[in-house]
């Protein structure tokens, strides 16, 4: 199995350090997650992303234990569903995830979707703030929240989240979200960072840069995320690709290459609309 150096770390606004690239685990089942996580940690991964809705938290925890790594060296993220959107509900959601993971604390917990039609995400966020104050989580974040959702959270609680995880890749550039996050000191984390189906990998701006540098198209796209200050969490269960995805810190794209990849943005086409979807 090839290995890479662990990714450099970056600082969240509360001072907590987080690896600058991570491993997504959807749609791995428990058995697949346990195997992949143990392999990924051996390769050099230190940030693992899971969720209640993925139904693989038990496998993720098993993989962490099987790796033999000290708990303090791995950064674990999980997320909870809409049914827990209340102050007390979030305490139960945390307890459920911690039990499945067999962990005493979770580094970063996210509200998985705002579900604005339910109109309880502010209460869910208040529950997250309590978890942070109680030391059960080290950082609080959100997933799929738009600037309008964030405005309301900050106005009603006075607490700015540390991270917002959104669907983001060169086709779905999210310029408004990124600008908002930058203004408020929120880290932007990218899910589906290399797109779906391989179409993005065949774009001349991507494939050309890969050929010039002797890198894979996936490495080029992940480097685009890193140079934009984004935090990508690509998913793979292939050991070779796991290592490739982590090896994006030994080269830089030129300004022209970055601009050409950024120009692939399709203006939101294909993006999940968190005002209309969620769980």
| Residue pair 244/222 in contact by the 8 Å Cβ criterion | no
Which of 2, 9, 64 is CA-nearest to residue 231? 9
Check if 54 is active-site: yes
Name residue, tokens 């969720």.
51
Torsion, Cα of 24, 212, 224, 257 (10° steps): -160
- Sign of dihedral through CA atoms 166, 170, 172, 173? positive
The catalytic residue among 54, 121, 171, 180 is 54
Angstrom distance (rounded) from CA 107 to CA 101: 12
For residue 206, give both structure tokens: 């991507």
Distance CA 97, CA 101 (A): 6
Pair 224, 198: CB distance under 8 Å: no
Chain CA centroid to CA 68, Å: 23
Q: In what order do the strands lie in the sheet with 187-191?
A: 23-24, 47-49, 75-80, 106-111, 137-143, 163-167, 187-191, 231-232
Tokens representing 245 are 């995805």
Active site residues: 54
């Amino acid at each position: 199995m090839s290995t890479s150096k662990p990714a450099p770390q970056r600082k969240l606004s509360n001072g907590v350090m987080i690896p600058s690239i991570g491993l997504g685990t959807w749609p791995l089942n428990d058995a697949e997650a346990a195997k992949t996580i143990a392999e990924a940690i051996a390769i050099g991964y230190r940030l693992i992303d899971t969720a209640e809705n993925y139904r693989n938290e038990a496998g993720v925890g098993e993989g962490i234990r099987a790796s033999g790594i000290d708990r303090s060296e791995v950064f674990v993220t999980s997320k909870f569903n809409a049914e827990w959107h209340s102050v007390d509900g979030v305490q139960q959601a945390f307890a459920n995830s911690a039990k499945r993971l067999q962990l005493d604390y979770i580094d970063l917990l996210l509200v998985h979707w705002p579900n604005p039609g339910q109109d309880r995400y502010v209460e869910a966020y208040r529950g997250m703030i309590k978890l942070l104050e109680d030391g059960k989580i080290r950082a609080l974040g959100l997933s799929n929240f738009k600037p309008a959702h964030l405005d309301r959270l900050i106005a009603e609680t006075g607490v700015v989240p540390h991270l917002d995880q959104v669907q983001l890749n060169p086709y779905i550039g999210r310029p408004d979200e990124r600008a908002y996050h930058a203004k408020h000191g929120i880290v932007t984390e990218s899910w589906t960072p290399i797109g779906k189906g391989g179409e993005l990998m065949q774009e001349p701006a991507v494939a050309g840069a890969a050929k010039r540098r002797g890198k894979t198209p996936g490495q080029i796209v992940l480097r685009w995320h890193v140079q934009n200050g984004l935090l990508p969490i690509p998913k793979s269960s292939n050991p070779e690709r796991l290592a490739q995805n982590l090896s994006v810190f030994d080269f830089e794209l030129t300004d022209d290459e970055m601009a050409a990849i950024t120009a692939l943005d399709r203006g939101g086409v294909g993006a999940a609309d968190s005002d209309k979807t969620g769980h």
